[in-house]
Structure 1
Amino acid sequence: MSKLRSLAANSAVRRAHWKALGLSDADLEKPKIAVVNSSSELAVCFAHLDGVAKVVKEAIREAGGIPFEVRTTAPSDFITGAGKQASFILAARDLVTNDIEAQVDAAQLDGMVCLTSCDKTPPGHLMAAARMDIPTILVIGGYQASGMIGGEHVDIEDLFSSSVAERFGGTAKHKMSDLVEQAVRGPGVCAGMATANTMHCVVEALGMCLPGSAPVRANSDKMFDSARRSGRRIVEMVQEDLRPSQILTEKAFRNAAAMVLAVAGSINAIKHLQATAIEGGYDIDVFRIWEEMGRRTPVLTAVRPNGSVRIEQFEDAGGASGVLKQLDGIVDCAAVTCTGRTMGDVLSQMPEADAKVIHSFDAPVSPGPSIAILKGSLAPESSIVKLGIRDGSRSEYFDGPAKVYTDSDLAMDDLANGRIKKGEVLVLRGQGLKGGPAMGGGASAVLFAIDAAGLAKDVAFVTDCQLSGLCLKGLTVAEVSPEAVAGGPIGKVQNGDRIVIDVEKRLLQLDVPDAELSERASTSGKYDIPADGYLGMYRRDVQPMSTGGVLLDLDAED
């Protein structure tokens, strides 16, 4: 057995505290495992996790370990996104990471099982695992059930898009009251290949959860079986001293990039993976990997919002492991997984995918990339465009005059009143990591508003904000870096400036002479959105997009 951290720090006072909790002298010699739980009664995303924690703790005890359940913040886009223009959503990711460190590392526990659910908990857990480098396994919390209206399936995407359409005087296909009743029918994360299910698949591609875990129906027998086996496995991982640094190698990050590209997943995965690499001190450039893998990886499945495949169908067809098996020749089979075996060994024992849902590499749904990194005079560092299914229905080139906004509500009002014209490039700035702060949620609403106004094919959208994983409307370039308030060129764009978006050339260009641009006033350091309390601290400390937006003081580490 490896040397246990908890024994090395096992002072008489600690022993007294733990014995008062009912532990015996024999228990104190066992591996001590954190069960990281973000259970919350605020949101269905997390409402079921207490039951999952119970199963994991029982399995840890049966395997010869001692479980300690600890709690973290529980960010849910549709609930905790209500205040401060949704700034708490991304900012809470880093709270999760720091919550874990402040309890698990401070107590010198030997390993941890993280119950991972809504969008920001998977990256928060991965970042903490990388930072602390103790044996860690993630348990996928699963996706919510959705319902039917008049024989037609509906889920949260239908509800969100219909609510925006109503604001613009449109007529929703179903009554809003019926959608509210049917879109969400149980606990778990949003159905579809939005950020949560994308990140669950990422976790499996990285090798940080048991094979076949993602995606999974919340509260299903399959989910609980995975939780039980994970509880047993973490004790073995502590005994083997199998740490995240042995799993989270560049091979694993390449596999994760291929996974997201193959399922046309959420663009948010890029910054979460880069943040994980930074937290672990790994010399891994996820943006570079993305461009390399994007040129090699086709789209193998069309899960909503990319196509008509439901997440249940994707799970039943093989899910994440099915995609990895179909990516033969792309996946690095030498990557180590939390099982202690290589990805190649793991996949050799997984069933074949249903090729009707998860297509083969040689007969894909569409060519790649489904997500591309653009650079240019408007985005000297990076920007991200989601292309999804590339079937020719969505333009990949746009050339038009800018219409600039710093207020998402004003942009939506102008859309509603016909003040944004065909051929224009709507620019929403001041919404980035510092400007938002934490990139807020305004851009997602604007994008749905563009679609509701019937302009998705006629107006391009450029922003330094992030987008919901549900967003796939028209030609949209997000997460432009450097952001406006950090001195990025997007902060100098004026109404009427010509902007060129050229996906084939990976180009986002502002057609303004350098001399003229240098003379223009910048919005650097000008915050249109106030932030105090935790968000004020976040604004002060958050690092650029090239780090994935971590809060670490990278200069101090050097």
Structure 2
Amino acid sequence: MDEKTKAQIQQEAADLVAKLQPRSGKFRTISPEMDPLRLGSGWTIEDLDKPQVIIESTFGDSHPGSAGLFELVEEVRAGVAEAGGHGARYFCTDICDGEAQGHDGINYSLPSRDMIANMIEIHAKATPFDAGVFVASCDKGLPANLMDMGRINIPSIVVTGGVMDAGPDLLTLEQLGAISARYERGEISREELEFAKHNACPSCGACSFMGTASTMQVTAEALG
């Protein structure tokens, strides 16, 4: 084997190693501030060399669909660590159409989807990541996360938060409007109205009827 052939093989091997290097590692080379900033965020020196995974979620106390997502985020983070990577948790919570009903808040509903999508894109583009896991439940946050999976274009999966339990006799939030109208007409007592209010959302999760939130979850899972 002549020297030229050896040099070609060595170059090809070097090119292959460069391709296999995590995307995040390449940016660490050109951005010396990245390592100390991550160490200051609680990362270990060993974490710096691992594949970096952004774990983006709509967790927050804004409504039941997002209030329970932190447990899923932690499970995802543990799974990433078990697989040899390091998960970085990012949060951009969403709003609830139910809480926005009847006042000016509903005007913020649809625009919030694009704002969330923009913020998640900022999270993922401002800091380089090798892969992403997107955790969301409802009909603005979940579409926003799906939009960003396309925008960011890194290996990604989506984890849906599931739906809440139904109340007694399959009571759901969807029935509250009709129940409230019955109370206004004097057909049921105040106590019956209060019972419905207190039991329509017995757990975290998206609303337990086939509304847009549950439909988005089913669609996301069907898309794979």
User: What TM bracket, shorter-length normalisation?
Assistant: 0.7 to 0.9
Tell me the TM-score normalized by structure 2: 0.83
User: Which residue matches 1:37?
Assistant: 57
User: Which residue matches 1:160?
Assistant: 177
User: Which residue matches 1:288?
Assistant: none
Find 2:141's aligned residue among 121, 128, 137. Answer: 121
**Counterparts in 2 of 1:172 and 1:135: CA distance versus 1, 3 Å:** farther
Q: Decide whether the 8 Å contact of 2:138 with 2:216 is kept in 1.
A: no
CA–CA distance in 2 between the matches of 1:16 and 1:83?
Answer: 47
CA–CA distance in 2 between the matches of 1:200 and 1:172?
Answer: 35
- Alignment pair present for 1:7 and 2:14: no
CA–CA distance in 2 between the matches of 1:153 and 1:205?
Answer: 26
**Counterparts in 2 of 1:181 and 1:16: CA distance versus 1, 3 Å:** same
CA–CA distance in 1 between the matches of 2:181 and 2:112?
Answer: 25
Q: Decide whether the 8 Å contact of 2:100 with 2:106 is kept in 1.
A: yes
- Alignment pair present for 1:103 and 2:119: no
Greater relative contact order, per chain length (Cα 8 Å cut-off, separation 6+):
2
**Counterparts in 2 of 1:81 and 1:74: CA distance versus 1, 3 Å:** farther
SS at match of 2:99: coil
SS at match of 2:39: helix
Range with bigger deviation, 66-75 or 172-181:
172-181
The 5 Å alignment of 1:334-483 reads: none
Find 1:178's aligned residue among 173, 195, 200. Answer: 195
CA–CA distance in 2 between the matches of 1:14 and 1:38?
Answer: 25
Displacement of 1:46 in angstroms is 1.2
CA–CA distance in 1 between the matches of 2:103 and 2:27?
Answer: 41
- Alignment pair present for 1:205 and 2:218: no
User: Structure 1: where are the runs of 5+ without partners?
Assistant: 208-558
Find 2:36's aligned residue among 16, 23, 34. Answer: 16
Q: Decide whether the 8 Å contact of 2:24 with 2:130 is kept in 1.
A: yes
CA–CA distance in 1 between the matches of 2:46 and 2:170?
Answer: 54
User: Which residue matches 2:204?
Assistant: 187
Displacement of 1:164 in angstroms is 4.1
Q: Decide whether the 8 Å contact of 1:81 with 1:89 is kept in 2.
A: no
CA–CA distance in 2 between the matches of 1:2 and 1:118?
Answer: 36
The 5 Å alignment of 1:251-270 reads: none
Task: Determine what percentage of the aligned residue pairs are the same residue.
Answer: 28
User: Which residue matches 1:468?
Assistant: none
Q: Decide whether the 8 Å contact of 1:47 with 1:187 is kept in 2.
A: yes
CA–CA distance in 2 between the matches of 1:58 and 1:82?
Answer: 41
CA–CA distance in 1 between the matches of 2:57 and 2:134?
Answer: 7
Q: Decide whether the 8 Å contact of 1:81 with 1:87 is kept in 2.
A: no
Q: Decide whether the 8 Å contact of 1:42 with 1:79 is kept in 2.
A: no
User: Which residue matches 1:73?
Assistant: 93
CA–CA distance in 1 between the matches of 2:210 and 2:63?
Answer: 19
CA–CA distance in 2 between the matches of 1:163 and 1:58?
Answer: 44
Q: Which amino acid aligns with 2:202?
A: R
SS at match of 1:146: coil
**Counterparts in 2 of 1:198 and 1:24: CA distance versus 1, 3 Å:** same
Q: Decide whether the 8 Å contact of 1:117 with 1:142 is kept in 2.
A: yes
CA–CA distance in 2 between the matches of 1:194 and 1:170?
Answer: 29
CA–CA distance in 2 between the matches of 1:126 and 1:204?
Answer: 11
Q: Decide whether the 8 Å contact of 1:73 with 1:99 is kept in 2.
A: no
Whichever structure has more helix as a proportion of its residues is 2
Displacement of 1:127 in angstroms is 0.4
CA–CA distance in 2 between the matches of 1:83 and 1:101?
Answer: 30
Tell me the TM-score normalized by structure 1: 0.35
Displacement of 1:98 in angstroms is 0.7
Range with bigger deviation, 170-179 or 49-58:
170-179
Find 2:158's aligned residue among 129, 138, 145. Answer: 138
User: Which residue matches 1:416?
Assistant: none
Q: Which amino acid aligns with 1:38?
A: T
CA–CA distance in 1 between the matches of 2:181 and 2:23?
Answer: 52
* Cα RMSD, aligned residues only: 2.1
CA–CA distance in 1 between the matches of 2:50 and 2:96?
Answer: 35
Q: Decide whether the 8 Å contact of 2:139 with 2:212 is kept in 1.
A: yes
User: Which residue matches 2:75?
Assistant: 55
**Counterparts in 2 of 1:154 and 1:5: CA distance versus 1, 3 Å:** same
CA–CA distance in 2 between the matches of 1:23 and 1:203?
Answer: 32
**Counterparts in 2 of 1:13 and 1:42: CA distance versus 1, 3 Å:** same
Q: Which amino acid aligns with 2:58?
A: S
**Counterparts in 2 of 1:123 and 1:2: CA distance versus 1, 3 Å:** farther
CA–CA distance in 1 between the matches of 2:97 and 2:188?
Answer: 23
CA–CA distance in 1 between the matches of 2:96 and 2:37?
Answer: 34
Q: Which amino acid aligns with 2:171?
A: V
